């Protein structure tokens, strides 16, 4: 498994995720959520930020099923999916991840044929607090 590489702006995302909480960075002045995390609000240029809890409900906005050539560890898990999930309560925020059968399940645990654009998903947290998605 690849482990997250964090930076100062994104570290809180992973700290909350390790506790089983999905939060997105939002502007401390205008309140607009933003992703990926960064120091400055693109809407009002404020440097104030807070971390807003979200429901973890979303929809598959897009997805791919990677094909070889793949890195060896991923080739062993193929076929698997990579999804872009649009959050229900922050529709402009889209997170990249994988749909799995349950928290901590392998990447290839869901038949890619079950995925559809618009499918409802909700977040679960796998090993090390990695956010993953399961079909609703």
Please state the closest distance from residue 31 (CB atom) to Zn ion, in A: 7
Which residue's CB is nearer to Zn ion, number 21 or number 29? 29
Which residue's CB is nearer to Zn ion, number 43 or number 120? 43
Please state the closest distance from residue 34 (CB atom) to Zn ion, in A: 8
Please state the closest distance from residue 42 (CB atom) to Zn ion, in A: 8
- Secondary structure (DSSP) of the chain: -PPP---TTTHHHHHHHHTT--EEEEESSS--EESS--SS-TTT----EEEEE---EEEEEEEE---SS--HHHHTT-S--EEEEEETTSTT-EEEE-B-SSTT--GGGS-GGG--TT-EEEEEE-GGG-EEEEE-
Which residue's CB is nearer to Zn ion, number 41 or number 107? 41
Q: Please report, as ranges, the residues that interact with Zn ion according to CB under 5 A.
A: 27, 29-30, 41, 43-44, 46
């Amino acid at each position: 498994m690849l482990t997250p590489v964090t930076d100062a702006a994104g570290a809180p995302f992973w700290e909350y995720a390790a506790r089983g909480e999905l939060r997105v960075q939002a502007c401390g002045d205008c309140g607009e959520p933003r992703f990926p995390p960064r120091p400055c609000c693109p809407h009002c240029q404020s440097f104030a930020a807070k971390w807003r809890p979200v429901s973890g409900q979303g929809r598959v906005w897009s997805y791919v099923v990677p094909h070889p050539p793949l890195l060896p560890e991923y080739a062993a898990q193929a076929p698997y999916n990579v999804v872009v999930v649009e959050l229900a309560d922050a529709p402009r925020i889209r997170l990249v991840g994988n749909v799995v059968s349950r928290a901590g399940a392998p990447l290839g645990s869901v038949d890619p044929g079950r995925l559809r654009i618009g499918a409802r998903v909700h977040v679960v947290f796998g090993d090390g607090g990695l956010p993953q998605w399961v079909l609703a």
